[in-house]
């Protein structure tokens, strides 16, 4: 230690102050040499204190982001696997009658899953769900909620079109429903919107009418041991096209407002009462 420092600090054991950002960093003065490692460690601790430990937080955030990306990639991979299985499916006669299987599409980690009863002619032709007139109306409903089609998942109880758009038969539902159940298990949506009576009755295992089911949230149980998923039953877009009135439109919008509220999402200004 130089004579100048001795004159200021005195003998061993006297406290030496180093100002870092106007804050005193207290170090023990040594007679012949400083504990360099201790000084460096204290400097690092002070830097972390003033930086909010951003280095550590940044690393933690990076790892969390990597994990989320890995989970998203795995979900997409699993959904693609199911789509391949659906394309090859011949569990029921519908598999031999279809033009294209319609597995479903959208975000593999969506917060909302829209589920209808079965593909129609347009869906069968394109291999995509809800692309006809009813699909265009569903797109408008989703947009009115402040969302985009690619942010949600859209699918059906059946993956193949029944002839002449007839109602799904019980044996067809039994064969096909496991595909949707596995998709929902992968997606883990916070809310399912059941579009129409067939979808609502199948998922809720009830014979009640859509008029009795809509307007309130229900619990859908993927299996006996699973945590329930909230389900909102509402009118199918095809029903709205056939019964286009202020009352039917208002009923669907009220249902969608409940969905948004349950998810903690804002209700767009144009939709407020």
| CA distances (Å), origin 242, targets 134, 161, 186, 228 | 10, 20, 34, 33
* Whether residue 4 has pLDDT greater than 60: no
What's residue 267's pLDDT?
Answer: 95
The bridge status of strand 112-116 relative to strand 105-106 is unpaired
- How many domains does one find in the chain? 2
Please report, rounded to a whole number, the percentage of residues in the chain having pLDDT higher than 70: 78
User: What number is the average pLDDT over the span 110-134?
Assistant: 98
Do both 78 and 206 map to the same domain? Answer: yes
Do both 48 and 106 map to the same domain? Answer: no
Do both 38 and 89 map to the same domain? Answer: no
- Torsion sign across C-alpha atoms 64, 68, 73, 78: positive
What's residue 69's pLDDT?
Answer: 83
Do both 71 and 98 map to the same domain? Answer: yes
Comparing 54-68, 87-101, 136-150, 236-250, the range with the smallest average pLDDT is 54-68
What's residue 272's pLDDT?
Answer: 63
Do both 99 and 137 map to the same domain? Answer: yes
Retrieve residue 79's tokens.
């959904």
Do both 159 and 209 map to the same domain? Answer: yes
Q: What is the C-alpha to C-alpha distance for residues 243 and 229, in angstroms, rounded to an integer?
A: 30
What's residue 60's pLDDT?
Answer: 74
Strand-pair partners of 25? 18
More confident: 5 or 236: 236
Residue that is last in its domain, among 35, 52, 69: 52
In which element (H, E) is residue 17 found? strand 15-20
Do both 191 and 213 map to the same domain? Answer: yes
Do both 77 and 47 map to the same domain? Answer: no
Q: What is the C-alpha to C-alpha distance for residues 43 and 246, in angstroms, rounded to an integer?
A: 69
Do both 43 and 139 map to the same domain? Answer: no
Do both 45 and 180 map to the same domain? Answer: no
Residue that is last in its domain, among 52, 74, 89: 52
**Quick check: 267 and 260 in contact, CB under 8 A?**
yes
3-state secondary structure of 23: strand
What's residue 131's pLDDT?
Answer: 97
Alpha helices by DSSP H, listed for 31-169, are 36-51, 54-87, 94-97, 121-126, 133-144
What CATH number has the domain bearing residue 89?
Answer: 3.40.470.10
Residue that is last in its domain, among 52, 70, 88: 52
Domain span at residue 207 reads 58-271
What's residue 178's pLDDT?
Answer: 97
Do both 115 and 166 map to the same domain? Answer: yes
Average pLDDT, the chain: 85
Retrieve residue 174's tokens.
């039994």
Do both 40 and 114 map to the same domain? Answer: no
């Amino acid at each position: 230690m130089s004579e100048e420092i001795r004159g200021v600090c005195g003998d061993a054991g006297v406290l030496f102050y180093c100002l870092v950002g106007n804050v005193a960093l207290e170090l023990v003065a040594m007679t012949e040499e400083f504990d360099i490692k201790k000084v460096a460690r204290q400097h690092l601790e002070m830097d972390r204190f003033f930086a909010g430990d951003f280095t550590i937080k940044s690393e933690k955030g990076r790892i969390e982001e990597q994990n989320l990306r890995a989970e998203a990639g795995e979900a997409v991979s699993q959904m693609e696997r199911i789509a391949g299985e659906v394309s090859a499916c011949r569990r029921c006669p519908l598999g031999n009658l279809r033009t294209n299987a319609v597995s479903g599409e959208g975000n593999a980690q969506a917060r909302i899953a829209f589920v209808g009863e079965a593909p129609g002619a347009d869906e069968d032709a394109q291999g995509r769900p809800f692309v006809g007139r009813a699909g265009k109306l569903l797109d408008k409903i989703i947009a009115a909620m402040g969302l985009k089609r690619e942010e949600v998942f859209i699918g059906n109880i059946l993956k193949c079109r029944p002839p002449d758009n007839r109602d799904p038969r019980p044996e067809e539902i039994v064969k096909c429903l496991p595909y949707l159940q596995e998709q929902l298990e992968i997606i883990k949506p916070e809310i399912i919107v059941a579009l129409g009576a067939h979808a609502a009755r199948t998922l809720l295992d009830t014979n009640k009418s859509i008029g009795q089911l809509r307007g309130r949230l229900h619990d859908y149980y993927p299996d006996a041991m699973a945590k329930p998923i909230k389900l909102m039953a509402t009118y199918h877009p095809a029903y709205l096209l056939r019964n286009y009135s202020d009352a039917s439109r208002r009923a669907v919008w009220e249902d969608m407002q409940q969905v948004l509220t349950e998810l903690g999402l804002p209700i767009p200004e144009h939709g407020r009462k």
